[in-house]
């Protein structure tokens, strides 16, 4: 029986494992196995809400093993460290506990077809001090670490104000893509909620958020009118938006810029640029300068038994541009790979993938949502904002849940979410 192994349980990898499990795994037509270094899944676009406490990851996470049992695929926890293409085996690094003791030894997982959906990590571009002094938001663990540091800084600032020692809470975010912009807005919501819960001395006026972008405008991947709308909303909140500002180094107390300006901050976040994990360049497969695997129109690498999707893959489209590293691209590629792998199993020609841009939306917490709808949803591109944009933004997550759970289960999850808004605190306070 054919063995299809998927490495990476992000949006694309998990949706692919779920769909293949339902169609091939449950019927015994193939063995589907998903590998991820974490036991649970959380939709990556939600990490900025975990970081600020607007979302409790313990409620919204999905357990891979339990999900696999329900949907017909197997799960194995592990971190990919290498690839033996001759033996057709994925090499998993030893798994250690918090005290450094070995839980699982190095393992090898055999495959007939391999799909790499490992995602991306933040690119610090080798900036001195960035790794040591900045927080990245690539994983749930990093988002939760930021949340704890953020709460501690609010407590310090509140205590200083109580003893008549004026102190602003300074937070600097490098990178004004969707993550940086959404995080900036969520921080002001966090400040307002914490005031209502008793930290009365740290009002939003004492929160100084600086959003730093090397390019000429924020949200450079989106149309200029959306960028301008988002800039206006952020500045209304109090965010200092610095464009055309290139960071040369980071240290314990802030950033240095190319122009010689000093930007001080107690909390420093790096959210500029993405790249595939470094080990991808050591697999013996062709990659680009940011370690992404080069794939053809069927999402196949130079090895006919290995496919890639999502942020770790680079597919050049007919217009010469690469498919953008977005959740909607991973979602579309997962659905397409189901067709590709079924065609491959039946020795039929492999269909080509065509990316359809449905537009982009950016949530500015509860204050606003801006974005555009395009592709087959509208004629051309249409800018939307406000409540309608917020409704569409939330529906993107619901579509991800529908792909994983189906309509009825997603309806129940949505109902539980509304109930939790009533019975739980508005912010995770620990």
Sheet holding 262-264, edge to edge: 247-251, 254-257, 262-264
What domains are defined for the chain? 2-120+276-345 (3.50.50.60), 130-270 (3.50.50.60), 359-423 (no CATH)
Predicted pLDDT of residue 429:
77
Predicted pLDDT of residue 307:
98
Sheet holding 359-364, edge to edge: 359-364, 368-373, 382-385
Predicted confidence (pLDDT) per residue in 354-398, tens digit: 998 887 788 888 887 777 765 444 444 566 666 666 777 778 888
**pTM for the complete prediction?**
0.91
Predicted pLDDT of residue 26:
95
Alpha helices in 44-89 (DSSP H): 47-52, 57-60, 64-71
Task: Measure the CA–CA gap between 363 and 393, rounded to whole angstroms.
Answer: 7
Side-chain-facing half-sphere of 73: CA atoms under 13 Å: 29
Q: How would you write the pLDDT of the chain (430 residues) with one tens digit per residue? A: 899 999 999 999 999 999 999 999 999 999 999 999 999 999 898 899 999 998 888 888 999 999 999 999 999 999 999 999 999 999 999 999 988 899 999 999 999 999 999 999 999 999 999 999 999 999 999 999 999 999 999 998 888 888 877 788 999 999 999 999 999 999 999 999 998 888 877 788 889 999 999 999 999 888 888 899 899 999 999 999 999 999 999 999 999 999 999 999 999 999 998 899 999 999 999 999 999 999 999 999 999 999 999 999 999 999 999 999 888 899 999 999 999 999 999 999 999 999 988 877 888 888 877 777 654 444 445 666 666 667 777 788 888 999 999 999 999 988 888 888 788 787 887 7
Say if residues 332 and 356 touch (Cβ distance below 8 Å).
Answer: yes
Task: Measure the CA–CA gap between 202 and 214, rounded to whole angstroms.
Answer: 30
Phi, psi (rounded to 5 degrees) for 155: -65, -45
**Per-position b or e across 8-29, b if 16+ CB within 10 A of its CB:** bbbbbbbbbbbbbbbbbbeeee
Predicted pLDDT of residue 290:
94
Predicted pLDDT of residue 112:
97
Predicted pLDDT of residue 374:
59
């Amino acid at each position: 029986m054919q063995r299809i192994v998927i490495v990476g349980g992000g949006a694309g990898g998990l949706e692919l494992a779920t769909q293949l499990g339902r169609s091939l795994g449950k019927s015994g037509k193939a063995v589907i196995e998903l590998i991820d270094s974490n036991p649970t899944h959380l939709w990556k676009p939600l990490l900025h809400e975990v970081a600020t406490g607007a979302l409790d990851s313990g409620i919204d996470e999905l357990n891979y093993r339990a999900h696999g049992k329900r949907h017909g695929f197997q799960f194995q926890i592990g971190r990919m460290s290498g690839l033996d293409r001759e033996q057709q085996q994925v090499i998993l690094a030893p798994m250690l506990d918090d005290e450094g003791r070995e839980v699982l030894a190095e393992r090898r997982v055999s495959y007939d077809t391999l799909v790499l959906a490992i995602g991306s990590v933040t690119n610090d571009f080798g900036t001195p001090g960035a790794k040591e002094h900045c927080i990245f938001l690539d994983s749930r663990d990093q988002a939760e670490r930021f949340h704890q540091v953020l709460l501690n800084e609010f407590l310090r600032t509140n205590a200083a104000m109580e003893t008549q020692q004026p102190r602003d809470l300074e937070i600097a975010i490098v990178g004004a893509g969707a993550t940086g912009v959404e995080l900036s807005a969520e921080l002001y919501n966090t400040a307002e909620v914490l005031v209502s819960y008793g930290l009365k001395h740290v009002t939003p006026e004492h929160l100084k958020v600086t959003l730093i972008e090397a390019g000429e405008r924020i949200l450079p991947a989106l149309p200029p009118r959306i960028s301008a709308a988002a800039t206006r909303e952020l500045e209304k909140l109090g965010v200092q938006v610095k464009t055309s500002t290139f960071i040369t180094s980071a240290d314990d107390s802030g950033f240095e810029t190319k122009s010689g300006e000093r930007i001080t901050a107690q909390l420093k976040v790096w959210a500029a640029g993405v790249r595939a994990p470094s080990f991808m360049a050591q697999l013996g497969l062709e990659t680009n300068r940011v370690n992404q695997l080069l794939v053809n129109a069927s999402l196949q690498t130079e090895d006919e038994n290995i496919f890639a999707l999502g942020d770790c893959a680079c597919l050049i489209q007919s217009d010469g541009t690469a498919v953008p590293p977005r959740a909607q691209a991973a979602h579309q590629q997962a659905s397409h790979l189901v067709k590709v792998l079924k065609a491959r199993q039946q020795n039929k020609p492999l269909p080509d993938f065509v990316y359809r841009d449905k537009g982009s939306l950016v949530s500015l917490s509860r204050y606003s949502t801006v974005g555009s709808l395009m592709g087959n949803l509208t004629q051309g591109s249409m800018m939307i904002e406000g409540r309608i944009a917020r409704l569409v933004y939330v529906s993107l997550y619901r579509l991800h849940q529908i792909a994983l759970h189906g309509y009825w289960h997603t309806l129940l999850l949505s109902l539980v979410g509304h109930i939790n808004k009533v019975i739980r605190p508005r912010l995770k306070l620990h």
